[in-house]
Amino acid sequence: MKCRMCGFEFDENEVANRGCSSCGKHDNCNQIHCPNCGFGNHPELDEEFEFIKKIKERFKNRKKSSS
């Protein structure tokens, strides 16, 4: 996984404490905190971000071809 805040790449399966210790959602927390900066990353958002990147690239390509 790549942290969305600092860009640090890490294996989310090797993170000892996947969720935060202060939110109270220990059993059902979907966040994986970056071992470098502590930012809470949501793994399910990776697919959404990839989809958004693809759409932006299509618009960029369409704009170049119409110019």
Whether residue 49 lies inside any domain: the answer is yes
Query: What are the tens digits of pLDDT across the range 17-45?
Result: 665 555 665 566 678 889 999 888 887 77
- Domains in the chain, number: 1
* Structure confidence at residue 53 (pLDDT): 86
Q: Are the CB atoms for 4 and 37 separated by under 8 Å?
A: no
Tell me the backbone φ, ψ of residue 32, rounded to 5 degrees. Answer: -120, 115
> Does residue 25 lie in a domain region?
yes
35 contacts 10 by C-beta, under 8 angstroms: yes
The whole-number pLDDT of residue 66 equals 74
Q: Evaluate whether 34 touches 10 at the Cβ level (below 8 Å).
A: yes
Domain assignment present for residue 4? The answer is no
State the average pLDDT for the chain.
80
Distances (CA, A) of 45 to 3, 13, 33, 63, 64: 12, 17, 14, 27, 29
Instruction: Answer yes or no: is 18 within a domain.
Output: yes
Confidence (pTM): 0.56
